[in-house]
Structure 1
Amino acid sequence: MTAGTESGGAAGAGKPRTLKERWQRLRQGQENPAGHQNMLLLIQLRWLAVLGQISTVAFVALVFDIRLPLPHMLEVLSCLIAFNIASHLRWHERRTVTNAELFLALLVDVAALTFQLYLSGGITNPFAFLYLMQIILSAVLLKPWSSWAIVGITLGCLAGLALFSEPLALPPDHSNGLFSLYVEGTLICFLLNAGLLVFFITRINSNLRAGDAMLADLRQRAAEEDHIVRMGLLASGAAHELGTPLSTLSVILGDWRRMPEISQRQELLDDISEMEAQLQRCKAIVSGVLLSAGEARGESSVKTTLNTFLDSVAEDWRKSRPVAEFEYRNLIEQDVPVVFDSAIKQMLGNVLDNAFEVSPDWISLLVKREGDLLQMEVSDRGAGFPEWMLSQLGKPYQSTKGKPGRGLGLFFVVNVARKLGGRIAASNRATGGATVTLTLPLSAISLEEAPDSPAPEVQSPSRQNTTQAG
């Protein structure tokens, strides 16, 4: 398999370069996949807090005619608004959020609440119970030490507010029940705490579950990557070992061809020619394995065009397989220059081989271009995929053949496509059989100097007609 970059990201300085490294960083807490979404939720919650404070202050001052230090309270609100705008601008661009940054954001909220309570009665203010929201949020979002730090800080703030605060002129009417201003404020505070916590904790838990799912997916893909590396080393070693006996067989067949007992009998010469052809195919397979492992002897990537590359892959596969009818259609009208990549040839050949095993009478290969994507559809008239296999597509050792060690073909195809930034999809045809669709970005094989400029169109007979063999 050829090495490729992980789709959707570029390796930068200090960033993990492999799936395994990224999974280890996530597992150790060095990265938080749900942190960005949780920070955005905190920003939304802060906007609601600003609106709630403005509404409460206006209601208390205008309806109940309670005198409040409005200039100082508005200054605190202005600072909170400025901090939230800065947070929105920062986290709109930056995607990685650490525990320390979430901790700092909650500290700002605690500080703003403390200043507002100081200006409006301190611990006698019924909205002092809003500290509980900060504690619960810290327990969900932060590491244990950070959560306990928030508990200690809020406890210290409450103790300080019991000693130092601006008095709030509330009438001593606690005995009036629901008609008491303090009781009404407490009920409103409880309603705010309960409603906001249910709404935001539900969304935060959803983000955390998504992060756990991402972590599990990265772990699975890292394990598959290690599995591929081990099998690649095994295949490379086997290819090296096979080189000597294949060369020996080639020499022996050449000697047999020159022997009088054989050279005078045409049927034996035909058999030797067939054996030599199969031997050359074995050598080509071995060379392909070494090429994919980066060990080709003096071979390099070949510059060609997309249609020429696809036509040659289809033609080479057709000549080496006794398929009764091979329908090849190339709908790419604008050709582009590409670099020949053996991994794509092997990947497409693997899918065609799977189709040939279940449908030797008819196979269809349709290639087309959708924007900057190359799509290759392989269809057959076999029995199709069982439902359980469609849900496990690309997992190792998932095969309908029922033999140990089988089911690695699509596993390799899926991982090569993923390495090249593409994907694979499979479905059953309504008329019988199955279709496997390979989708790759053209940037994976396009020449860098002219990725978008089309080359002159190359018309090939193999792109126009159905090919029949046998």
Structure 2
Amino acid sequence: MSETISPPEASAPDPSWPRALRRPARGRVRLRTLLAIRWVAVAGQASSLLFVNLALGYPIPLVPAAVAVAALAIATLVPQLRRKSNARLNDRESALYFAFDMVQLTVLLGLTGGLHNPFSLLLLAPVTVSAAALSFRSTLGLTALSITCINILALFHLPLPWPASAFDLPPIFVFGLAIALALAAVFISVYVFKVAEESRRVADALMAVQSALDREQRISSVGALAAAAAHELGSPLGTISLIAKELTKDLPADSPYRPDAELLLSQAERCRHILAEIAARPEQSTKDHFHVLAAPLLVELAAEPFLRPSVALRIESKSEGGEQDPPVMPRRPEIMHGLGNLLQNAIEFAKEEVQVVIAWSREELSITITDDGVGFPPDLLDRLGDPYISAALGRYGGKLMRRGLVARATGTAGVPKPDRRQGDHMGLGIFIAQNLLERSGGSVQFDNNDFGGAEVKVVWPRSALNSEAHKE
């Protein structure tokens, strides 16, 4: 069985694509957390100095060291008194706080042995926190500052407090330790930043998936509510209209109540007219009455908002077993929005035709979407479905962008123009579609067909679709 859907003579881009979520600004560190860590550092530094000087009896320049600790305490107390504890620091403020902590620790270490002091490893702590929470620019600056502090401590420092003879490490060892700490700062900053960045991207992308699903559910709920209102209000309005007509007939022409009765009748007729218009919009009412639809009809409904006059949509049904009638599918927002994204992508890049083959057996149902367009970039086939794929392509992505292949690979070609640039940058179209369809129990495969166009195959186990259909 096959069916060709003629595109409408004029079609506007459907705004069903969720607005690309702007990522929150980096460096949103809570002031309360930062101040708590600082007070721990103040207590730790003060207790260490007193223990080494009083309990162990090691010679320490106690006054300068106490001034350094006091500076950290004052720098912690002032924002605690002047700002709300639940305030969040922006990226710049957080970086300045961490930079001050690093400089203060460098001064304290310089007074107590420099790199000879085993606590010099604490210079890596601000870099690690910055890589996990701040922007790459701030992390790069703090990494450079840490390397500078390490080199200064390797060259300029007071002797390490020691009970008897002076403790002095060979210069080659101090040099090697400085190199090791510098390399550790670079490695930790890069590695932690990459891991944190990937986690942020996935979290933001999943938030976009949830946003798309919520919007589709709201649209479906509004349509169902409109249909229910049109159905439920029809009978009471009919009764009101009938009584108003009788009152209008029975009241004399000069009755002071006749104008009120005529107004009541006209307003009731107006309400009936509005409800009739709502009921006449199939996209908002009658379609939403059907929670379970035949697979070809569901594909047709998912593709309808994106049809173009120059591209024909051909739907074929193929049975691979004894069952001849197409199986039914639940009309869930995940399935409708996921298939809609994939069909929109295919229609936007097709030259003349998009073919959808629906095949089913007793075990599974598959929907294969192929087009005669440019296809997916071969080098990106393995990465399709990753969030922010276009942002990670670098120079290669720029070349593909000029050829339109990044939008092809990210599924953002059909984004309305106001959101299009940002959508291309984020590359969430295919990611959203894949996650929504996998949430419904299906699996998505991407490939190019023999003619150079794109081919996307979605497969559901029949058991998953049947269980979902019974839930509706």
Task: Assess same fold via TM > 0.5.
Answer: no
Q: What TM-score, normalized to structure 1?
A: 0.38
Q: What TM-score, normalized to structure 2?
A: 0.38
